Amino acid sequence: MKKYKNLLFILAFIALLLSQYKLVMPFMYKIAASDLFLVDSKDQASQLPISTTLTAIAYMHCNHTIKSELGSEAVVSFPEKPLNAWSMGNYDYLIHGEYGITNQNSTATSKNYTCRIAYKNGDDQEGILDYDNWSIVGLSGLEN
């Protein structure tokens, strides 16, 4: 049995590769091609920056979150529009903006931030102004 150990290992390895190639991968391709991962939404993704009412509201909610994260010691100001805003589809947005912050020492600085925010109610836009209907997925640019 010891002399067939290497041969048995090679045969088992070949059987594993063939089962992956002939059984597992075709099954995975069928799952990927199915409607299992399909999200049907009126909001389409865009590779180019866009400016819509939804991105403006998303920008407003990101600014609200930044103000609450920085606390009451700092005076924070925001421009009227974000630098860029992208729709990632299915009411998920990426906002790139800037804010001005004045500390207790009266030192004013300008910083950039990126905020990923999602609207939870999908195509139902009745509660779009309500902050509770949005969720911040990620926020960067607040570190000192």
Q: Is the pLDDT of residue 109 over 80?
A: yes
- Statement: residue 144 has pLDDT above 70: no
Phi-psi region at 141: left, alpha or beta (left = phi > 0; alpha = psi -120 to 50): left
Partners of residue 67 on adjacent β-strands: none
Question: Which residue, chain included where needed, has tokens 């920056």?
Answer: 49
Bridge partners (DSSP) of residue 84 are: 96
pLDDT higher than threshold 80 for residue 103: no
Q: What is the pLDDT of residues 27-39, one digit of tens each?
A: 999 988 888 777 7
Q: How many CB atoms lie within 10 A of CB 117?
A: 24
Reduced to 3 states, what is the DSSP secondary structure of residue 84? strand
pLDDT, tens digit, 9 for 90 and up, residues 48-68 = 898 988 999 999 999 999 998
Q: Are 64 and 76 in contact (CB under 8 A)?
A: no
The most distant pair of C-alpha atoms in the chain lies apart, rounded to whole Å, by 82
| Among the listed residues 140, 73, 86, the one whose alpha carbon sits nearest the alpha carbon of residue 111 | 140
